[in-house]
A and B are shown apart, each in its own frame.
Chain A
Amino acid sequence: MSGNEAAAEGAMRAGCRFYAGYPITPQNEIIAYMADHLPLRGGVFVQAESELAAINMLYGASAAGVRCMTSSSSPGVSLKQEGISYLAGSELPAVIVNISRAGPGLGDIGPSQGDYFQTTRGGGHGDYRCPALAPSTVQEMAEFTYLAFELADTYRNPVVVQGDGMVGQMMEPVALDHLRPPRPHQKPWALTGAAGRPRNIVRSFRGVKGELEKHNIKLQEKYDEIKRTEVRCVKIACEEADVLVVAYGTCARIAREVIAWPPRRLPGRVGLLRPVTLWPFPCRQIAELAERVRGVLTVEMNAGQMVEDVRLAVEGRCPVHLLRRMGGAVPTAREIADKLVALFG
């Protein structure tokens, strides 16, 4: 199946019972798959009038205690940011799949990683963060979407699955049997009608002086806990590496191919660190490797966004370089190899 369909299937296996979305390429297979399957599996599908409406429908479904998801691509995710900020402020779980495309503006439908900043920095107004998972295979589209629901409920926070047009549209075989129905999370805060308990209020508004600062401190403590416990990354051939490549999503697929090339075509031994969580970012893991390697090459399909996090992690321990393509262009394996040779050969 396609990466987009795999994400939809992973969501349903995670117990997603509400989906709202608005069509946009290159994620239309998600909305179509949901429309086709979700109502037959006991869920609710709504084609919303806009991304704004879709994300706010999630606010309602999530407040009612139900697992819910929306999906979109970059321009649509820009519109969702209002709702994501409200979800984070109200501590409501929800899953947002962003199959990004190239910008700015309408840009084009080619694959892009230009949303790294809006995904990892919160994206909307106020101080909040969303855990963000970056799949680089169709299998991971299913698994990470499933995992996103678990993280969302565990931390009562929106979680982003950050793909791109390439992983969304490609077809690969997928194993799904291990994605078993999850154990339900208790949601005593959910709005079900105040029967036999004091009423619940779901809100982000804190109008009493001092309350909002307290609320923010509580949120930051939660984000700190996520940083301590949820960092995920994959290291390939890093043990012996002289040079380190850092890449995620589609770029990681291509870089993975390159590091397997015969050593004579590369400047020594090249390792790959692939962040799986873009936030929380694998800072410590990168810093440890930066102690030992000659330098780092970050490969991105944007003007250089993740490279800022890599530099913060490396903290001057070694040089950090960037190979970038923009506007829907995808770096080739040859380009990566040539850049490595030019830098470290």
Chain B
Amino acid sequence: MRETRTVRCETLYARPQCLIDVPTHYCAGCGHGTVHRVLAEIIDELGIRERTIGIAPVGCAVLAYDYIDIDWSEAAHGRPPAVATGLKRVRPDRIVFTYQGDGDLASIGMAETIHAANRGENITVIFINNAVYGMTQGQMAPTTLVGQKTKTTPRGRDPEQDGYPIRVCELLSGFDRVRFLARATVTSAARVRRMKKLLKKAFRYQIERVGFSLVEVLSPCPTYWRMTPVECCEFIEETMVKSFPLGVIKDVSAGEDGDR
């Protein structure tokens, strides 16, 4: 008689439960997909799927609600922080996050961003900085780098005309009621793990009612940077981080509780 042996398989990595199993509309190599997956993992791991409400932007991520299986609201271009304010104020026990591009958050919606931050709304803002307007075909964003060519800066961004790229985290860091600001990226597995850690912390702060948090993600847009996905990652690591340094910009609880 032959001996039979049972092999026990342990799942080490699987699709997050709340990440809907459909192909996304994002271009190959786009950062949005990576951030969606990480966001879905965090929602699963924190066990907050049934009390989380997302606010989708107008931008390439307009269809974010097609991919993560939670309650979602649309918002007009730039208005997610205002919509989040209304939602969170009337449902303070729910977890409310916005997901916004740089045009949405730092141009048309800058007033809403600054004032939600200054009021210290207990929400989490996920800020995808890809230095262009993706959805409208690659125009200059408030975060476009000096010299970067876009549809509306065909000779490169000229600070004499367009000013310098806006550093949102640094801008918001002066507001007393802003609790957590961090900048991360998705250029390698290690970077993605780091981004997840920071974003998870931002969600934890909301759960613990610490207050306003924002995580900025430097995110590749191969289509309108006119680069391959690999070149995009090199560009972020070699150039973009010089204008947008990675790391924790502000953490009110860092002193007491380090890296929780």
Q: Which A residues lie at the B interface, using CB under 8 A?
A: 17-18, 20, 44, 46, 48-50, 52-54, 56-64, 66, 68, 82-83, 86, 90, 191-196, 199-205, 207
Contact = CB atoms under 8 A, between A and B. Distances in A.
A56 B75 contact: yes
Contact of A60 (B52, B70, B86): B86
Contact of A50 (B62, B85, B91, B111): B111
A81 to B, nearest CB: 11
Nearest to A89: B74
Given A194-B70, A203-B65, A205-B74, A56 B79 contact: yes
B76 A82 contact: yes
B87 A53 contact: no
B50 A61 contact: no
Given A52-B82, A195-B50, A205-B74, A60 B87 contact: yes
Given A192-B91, A194-B70, A199-B71, A53 B53 contact: no
In this complex, the member of B51, B56, B88, B90 whose beta carbon has the largest number of chain A beta carbons within 10 angstroms is B90
Nearest to A195: B50
Nearest to A58: B86
Interface string B101-143: 0000000000110110000000000000000000000000000
Given A60-B84, A83-B76, A205-B74, A194 B90 contact: no
Nearest to B84: A60
A83 B79 contact: yes
B92 to A, nearest CB: 9
B71 A191 contact: yes
Contacts of B65: 201, 203
Given A18-B86, A193-B50, A200-B71, 5 more contacts: A56-B83, A59-B79, A59-B86, A64-B53, A82-B76
A68 B79 CA distance: 17
Interface size class of B (residues with CB under 8 A): 35 or more
A55 to B, nearest CB: 8
B contact patch SS: helix
Given A53-B82, A53-B115, A195-B51, A60 B74 contact: no
B219 to A, nearest CB: 22
Contacts of A49: 111-112, 114-115
B73 interface: yes
Nearest to A207: B63
B75 A59 contact: yes
Top-9 shortest CB links A-B: A60-B86, A56-B82, A203-B74, A61-B86, A195-B50, A57-B86, A60-B87, A193-B51, A60-B83
Contacts of B62: 205, 207
18 contacts: A18-B86, A44-B89, A46-B85, A57-B85, A59-B76, A59-B79, A60-B55, A60-B73, A60-B86, A63-B87, A64-B90, A66-B90, A193-B70, A194-B70, A196-B50, A199-B72, A201-B65, A205-B62
Contact of B74 (A20, A62, A86, A193): A86
Interface of B: 49-53, 55-56, 62-63, 65, 69-76, 79, 82-91, 94-95, 111-112, 114-115
Contacts of A62: 86
Given A50-B111, A59-B83, A17 B76 contact: no
Contacts of A207: 62-63
Given A56-B76, A57-B82, A194 B89 contact: no
B89 A46 contact: yes
Nearest to B53: A191
Contacts of B53: 64, 191, 193
A324 to B, nearest CB: 35
A57 B87 CA distance: 7
A57 B73 contact: no
Contacts of B51: 193, 195
B82 A17 contact: no
Contacts of A48: 82, 115
Contacts of B74: 86, 90, 201-205
Contact of B90 (A18, A56, A195): A18
Query: For B50, B51, B53, B114, which residue has the most chain A Cβ atoms within 10 angstroms?
Result: B53
Nearest to A198: B69
A21 to B, nearest CB: 12
Nearest to A203: B74
Contact of B73 (A59, A82, A194, A196): A59
A86 B79 CA distance: 11
Contacts of A193: 50-53, 70-71, 94-95
Contacts of B52: 193
B107 to A, nearest CB: 14
A205 B111 CA distance: 24
A56 B111 contact: no
Contacts of A60: 55, 73, 75, 82-88, 90
